[in-house]
Structure 1
């Protein structure tokens, strides 16, 4: 019957997505360190799932640059790679610029206030040296415009490439340099509130391009022999 069949499909889809998100988050927060070898059986045991969703998750993570594989030899967490990060940065900055450009004419007062509140949480997290909370608040801040743009292509690209940058942003948000992002966010909110589409879009792009200062922390791109 159609209903039971569809329930089964949704269940498998959720397993795949949960496996992907769990492994991705463990890579981004450093639980799975750069260069660490990955075993799909061990990951499956950790997540309490079969090896199939784990393998599918690793394939997706390889596409986004967080995992490297060489069939028959290794699967590993990608080393921090400045070149890969710069490529992800260019794409991500362009997508956030486009998201803001499309969102600003339609942003409600509530959405602008949500951006302001997220930035306040972001500033508080930085003050408390809580990197996880800072990244979560930063996601909330930028997510307002991405959602308001109502453009699924933008969301898909942002979700694919942002995790590569988040690994480096953890370094930035752990430093005093991360405080500059608060001011950049405030500028974006002010321009959005003024309905300055072009100005807000450019400010959003500049915010993501400001990560240049941490690329030298990424280290050399070393590949296993």
Structure 2
């Protein structure tokens, strides 16, 4: 089970949450790959904690269907189900349009500045072919709108969906998922919001996710062809 180096030990005061967040990040970012076996003793040693917070974190991840186990036999990172993208993306763009319709009246200048900074980070990540940085920057961009909906239930649902979406990107696309058009769509979205044109902003959000799904399906098809050829 390959694990990244740890620069520091887990903070004892926030141990449970930090262990959970660390393992969640490793799964989301592809450090722990689908179907990879997880050994709680090894993780605990690597993180400098007891096995108890690791086991608690694994149970929480299992509740989110990111980890699966067989009693007293094995624990592993869950597989990505076939057709996951087709199931997730339409839900995300529908809920993001809902968030947008509420957030539009709450947006401030600093929010648009955050979105532009995230878009610049996305641009640089694409140029460097860095899928993890690109995925995070894209999420940071959309999160500004989601957070400004001020709806904790909607925010929580979208956060859970975005975990699955980011995992799909990193596992399958290695940076190819993103294109220059994503950056341009983001800029158009900011302009529409600043102009108060909700209808156009909703259309751009839909188009942005729809194109992402098309790119994802294309890359997944290529991966399948490559496996079949081998």
TM-score between both structures, scaled by the size of structure 2: 0.79
Residue 211 (structure 1) shift: 3.1
Residue 119 (structure 1) shift: 0.9
* Of 75-84 and 99-108, the range deviating more from structure 2: 75-84
Partner of 2:185 in structure 1?
A: 184
Q: CA 1:94–1:72 in 2, change beyond 3 Å: closer, same or farther?
A: farther
How many aligned residue pairs are there?
Answer: 209
The 8 Å contact of residues 115 and 141 in structure 1, kept in 2 or not, is answered as yes
Counterparts of 1:95 and 1:52, CA distance in 2 = 36
For residue 35 of structure 1, give the secondary structure of its aligned residue in structure 2: coil
Residue 37 (structure 1) shift: 0.8
The 8 Å contact of residues 99 and 149 in structure 2, kept in 1 or not, is answered as yes
Counterparts of 1:35 and 1:145, CA distance in 2 = 34
Counterparts of 2:49 and 2:202, CA distance in 1 = 42
Partner of 1:157 in structure 2?
A: 157
Partner of 2:143 in structure 1?
A: 143
Residue 27 (structure 1) shift: 1.3
Q: CA 1:71–1:180 in 2, change beyond 3 Å: closer, same or farther?
A: farther
Residue 24 (structure 1) shift: 1.2
Residue 126 (structure 1) shift: 0.7
Using CA pairs below 8 Å that are at least 6 residues apart, which structure has the higher relative contact order? 1
Counterparts of 2:161 and 2:107, CA distance in 1 = 25
The 8 Å contact of residues 58 and 67 in structure 2, kept in 1 or not, is answered as yes
Residue 175 (structure 1) shift: 1.6
Counterparts of 2:162 and 2:53, CA distance in 1 = 22
Residue 166 (structure 1) shift: 0.8
Q: CA 1:38–1:176 in 2, change beyond 3 Å: closer, same or farther?
A: closer
Partner of 1:98 in structure 2?
A: 98
Question: What are structure 1's unaligned runs of at least 5 residues?
Answer: 1-10, 221-225
Partner of 1:75 in structure 2?
A: 75
Q: How well do the aligned residues superpose, as a CA RMSD in angstroms? A: 2.4
For residue 68 of structure 2, give the secondary structure of its aligned residue in structure 1: strand
Q: Which has more helix, going by share of residues?
A: 1
TM-score between both structures, scaled by the size of structure 1: 0.81
Counterparts of 1:129 and 1:176, CA distance in 2 = 10
Residue 59 (structure 1) shift: 2.4
Q: What do the CA deviations read for 1:55-82 (whole angstroms, capped 9, x no partner)? A: 2222222233322223233211122333
For residue 82 of structure 1, give the secondary structure of its aligned residue in structure 2: coil
Runs of 4+ in 1 over 3 A off after TM superposition: none
Counterparts of 2:191 and 2:153, CA distance in 1 = 26
Q: CA 1:142–1:42 in 2, change beyond 3 Å: closer, same or farther?
A: same
Question: What are structure 2's unaligned runs of at least 5 residues?
Answer: 1-11, 225-230
